[in-house]
Amino acid sequence: MFVFVYTDLAFYDFQLYCCGVKDYKDWESNRYFNCSSPGTEACGVPFSCCKPTSSALIDRQCGYDMIRASHNSDRESYIYTIGCIPAGEKWLESNLIPVASILGICFAHNLRGDINAQISKWEYQEVHTVCRKEVRILQYLVIFRIAIL
């Protein structure tokens, strides 16, 4: 059973032209959109699931009652029925090369940063090792000088 956070999923619905996780029926699991809900959104889907129209006026109630069986014939013309997971998979398949390129660049950038950090650690250790040796030499010279006096 899916519990939806309306604002998060609505963003993906709008960007991927999808509705729900698997399909539009997933909104039945939401307490505001399920058919037993007392509100006006009962048996509907959110506005983000609606397909754009050529009308100048935006119909914010276009998802009203779309889960009911009475809309089986015209549902496809008003709302997106494919879920966001299948739509995301489809988008990823069609954009695999750009996505892989971006991920490769990010990985290379991360690797470069890690290498530079390791080099900095080595240089820090070398400087401090050299400094420790110089301090010891100076200590020996001071002790030697005191011994001579």
Please, which residues have CB within 8 angstroms of residue 145's CB and are 6 or more apart in sequence?
none
Distance of CA 46 to the CA centre of its chain: 21
Q: Are residues 23 and 46 in the same domain?
A: yes
Residue 83 included in any domain? yes
Give 129's pLDDT tier (boundaries 50, 70, 90).
low
The count of structural domains within the chain is 2
Average model confidence (pLDDT) across the chain: 77
Give 142's pLDDT tier (boundaries 50, 70, 90).
low
pLDDT at 57: 64
Residue 1 included in any domain? no
Gap between the Cα atoms of 121 and 127, Å rounded: 10
Range of the domain at 101: 96-149
The average pLDDT across 91-112 equals 87
Residue where a domain stops, chosen among 61, 79, 94? 94
Asked if residue 149 has pLDDT above 60, the reply is no
